[in-house]
């Protein structure tokens, strides 16, 4: 089945540690996205990539970094500079602009 796979499902971070969240898609989509969701709130865009080897900051990019070396993969690193990283992180992909974004089932990040 085609889809988006996020791993791990749960992740714990120690103070001062960087952690990387994985996102893989086999939908052959050009565009990929990372969102953060806090309890009772909507999704906020962290980074997005329209094409391989290119990405842009979203609304809340500070403390995060991404790479897009392959079409299928768009990993997100939560750095130690992100002071409030506890959240539900969602990855999505779409064929192009103004097309439905398809989401993975998320990674829940917590602080130890």
Site for other proteins in 92-111 (CB under 8 A): 92, 94, 97-98, 100-106
CB nearer other proteins, residue 13 or residue 44:
44
- Please, what is the end-to-end C-alpha distance for the chain in angstroms? 35
Q: Which residues pair with 13 in a beta bridge?
A: 111
- Indicate whether 25 belongs to the interface with other proteins (CB under 8 A): no
**Among 11, 22, 44, 65, interactor with other proteins by CB under 8 A:** 44
- CA 36, CA 16: separation in Å to the nearest integer? 20
Q: Which of 11, 27, 31, 61 is the binder for other proteins (CB under 8 A)?
A: 31
**Shortest distance (Å) from residue 80 CB to other proteins:** 26
107 burial level (CB within 10 Å; 0-12, 13-18, 19+)? buried
């Amino acid at each position: 089945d085609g889809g988006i796979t996020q791993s791990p499902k749960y992740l714990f971070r120690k103070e001062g540690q960087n952690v990387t969240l994985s996102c893989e898609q086999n939908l052959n989509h050009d565009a990929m996205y990372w969102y953060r969701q806090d309890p009772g709130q909507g999704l906020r865009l962290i980074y997005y990539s329209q094409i391989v080897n290119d990405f842009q900051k979203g609304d809340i990019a500070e403390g995060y970094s991404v790479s897009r070396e392959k079409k299928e993969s768009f990993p997100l690193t939560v750095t130690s500079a992100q002071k409030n990283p506890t959240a539900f992180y969602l990855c999505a992909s779409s064929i192009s602009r103004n097309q439905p974004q398809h989401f993975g089932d998320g990674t829940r990040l917590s602080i130890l």
